[in-house]
Copies of this chain bind each other. A is one copy, B any other.
């Protein structure tokens, strides 16, 4: 139906099927966005109670190593994307080798961003500012790293870290052995501690044609290492926001990226101006972009679908100032206040079990614009 959407690549048109690797709330919201555009989705995930299974035209419940299931999946879809960065690289390589459906974002993006060390080396090679870092595969390397970077520092596993898992802060050099043992000798990366005053993220999309569309920077507050609230506009100088956008675009281009990505930054203050350092890259739609469903002209989920389908990107203009709150664990038990509050939109992810630290849903408030700068966005 969208055969007339002009694009230098072949486009994916309704009622085509988008294959989504991963079945969490991100996959769920991607599937809903695809449906709004008349597209079907086929979700592939190993967990039987995957939230995205409830909103897709088809699903496969199988491991990422199951080549038979992967091959059947690839034959049934028109394009493949993924909703989280811990899909095995070998899974994507296998899907690409089948040549049944294109895969976006790129294999390169997945490979680099799922390994903290590769990601930092990639950023460093592009002269993108980030905290000092050292590869750590042994206690000796850790001690040498601490001598170079100083304390406090943070030791993080190279892979599978999220929401504060797989990391330990080292306040004094003599705590090295304990920290290394804590991470069970896993290949790791030592990062210098950055005295940031604020954390922000830039969520942005890159189309198949190289077009780039960033959302306004989001100011993020974490609690227990989990995103708690996001405010937009962020408290941030115009110059720093512009720099963060430029860095995000540079990253996207050098990853041959297609789809939505997020770059998290630390904001530092000094000499009366703000600077930004990259914290990490998420090769997917991002928690700090969920506000865009009601708060932007194009949601990050719709934007990702447009990008991977080869459609023109939509406007990322905001519809107001944003206060976004995650509902973590039992915060999702008392919801009535969110159902009646002006300009307030409640989302729940359909997870049957409330667990401490589990993201159960979120609330987006869209408020009147507070500044002329915001309205120009």
- Residue numbers of A with Cβ under 8 A of B are 1-6, 14-15, 28, 31-32, 35-41, 53-57, 297, 306, 311-312, 314-315, 317, 319, 332-336, 339-340, 342-352, 354, 360-361
Contact = CB atoms under 8 A, between A and B. Distances in A.
Contacts of A14: 348, 350
A349 B314 contact: no
A41 B350 CA distance: 11
Number of copies of this chain in the oligomer?
Answer: 2
Nearest to A340: B312
A4 B39 contact: no
B319 A342 contact: no
10 contacts: A1-B348, A2-B335, A15-B350, A32-B55, A38-B350, A38-B360, A40-B350, A297-B343, A314-B339, A315-B340
Contacts of A360: 1, 38
Nearest to A32: B32
A348 B37 contact: yes
Contacts of A39: 348, 350
A323 to B, nearest CB: 15
B333 A3 contact: yes
Contacts of A311: 339
A35 B55 contact: yes
Contact of A336 (B4, B28, B297, B335): B4
Given A1-B333, A57-B53, A343-B297, A36 B40 contact: no
A335 B57 contact: no
A68 B335 CA distance: 37
